[in-house]
A = this chain, B = another copy of it.
Amino acid sequence: MNETIELMLSHRSIRKFTEEPMSEETVRTLVACAQAAATSSNVQAVSIIQVQDPERRQALAGYAGGQPYVASAATFFVFCADLSRPARACESRGGEFTPGMTEHFMIATIDVALAAQNMVLAAESLGLGICYIGGLRNNPREVADLLELPDQVYPVFGLCLGTPAQDPEVKPRLPVDAVLMQERYRSAEQADELVASYDDSLRTYYATRTGGKKNSSWSEEMKALVGKESRPHMREFLGQQGFTLK
């Protein structure tokens, strides 16, 4: 096992940060690392907005559902899927941008995630901690308005970064054999035992971490997560930004 792999396997989200600020040089290195990730047809459909103003950070922390580390992290980035730049380039060469394709939406969203994960590992390799903030999608309209996002741009998630002021345990994952399949999809039924053993290990993890206060398993969490509508405003919001998903 090497340094990079050890780094990955020790990943956990950090939600408490010291007050140590981040240098502009580090910010630019992190962005360059994000850009170095693979990108579909070189579209580079990623814009990264750094928000440092305390009032704006407070607003974002609120939009994210009251996550205080959005305000307190040394640095906060909003990762945006951005088809505005390629659309403009297309039109500068006499082309006519074709808006609303589901495939373009996917390309841009995937580009953003690949770039962000590069930034995350680069940050962690520098001793920083991170926390993704999908909660920005609780109030995407407000986030887009605050950041003045134009047509063809939407906020995929935020990212808190800073020097860790906590050292949480690594959260256990599903067994490799539940996720890795050979040649064809293995029916979910065949993974039931693996999921059951994972339910047990996650229950133990929570119990240990909270001194017995939290008693939950993965299956119970999934009931809460996919057993109801989730951010039902999302489709309409995406449409407002020009991602009509046709």
Contact = CB atoms under 8 A, between A and B. Distances in A.
Given A2-B126, A219-B90, A221-B41, A229 B101 contact: yes
A213 interface: no
Interface stretch (A15-23, A28-36, A65-73): A28-36
A103 B179 contact: no
B134 A107 contact: yes
B42 A218 contact: yes
A100 to B, nearest CB: 10
Interface in A124-158: 125-126, 130, 132, 134, 137, 146-150, 153, 156-157
A163 interface: no
Given A4-B3, A132-B38, A185-B147, A104 B230 contact: yes
Interface in A142-183: 146-150, 153, 156-157, 170-171, 173-174, 176, 178-183
12 contacts: A2-B126, A8-B121, A9-B33, A38-B130, A47-B179, A49-B182, A95-B224, A95-B227, A97-B227, A104-B230, A106-B137, A106-B156
A238 B102 contact: yes
A152 to B, nearest CB: 9
Contact of A185 (B9, B27, B148, B178): B148
A209 interface: no
A190 to B, nearest CB: 11
Given A8-B121, A104-B230, A121-B121, 15 more contacts: A1-B29, A5-B33, A5-B126, A28-B180, A41-B134, A48-B180, A49-B183, A85-B195, A93-B219, A95-B222, A103-B137, A110-B134, A114-B116, A114-B117, A146-B184
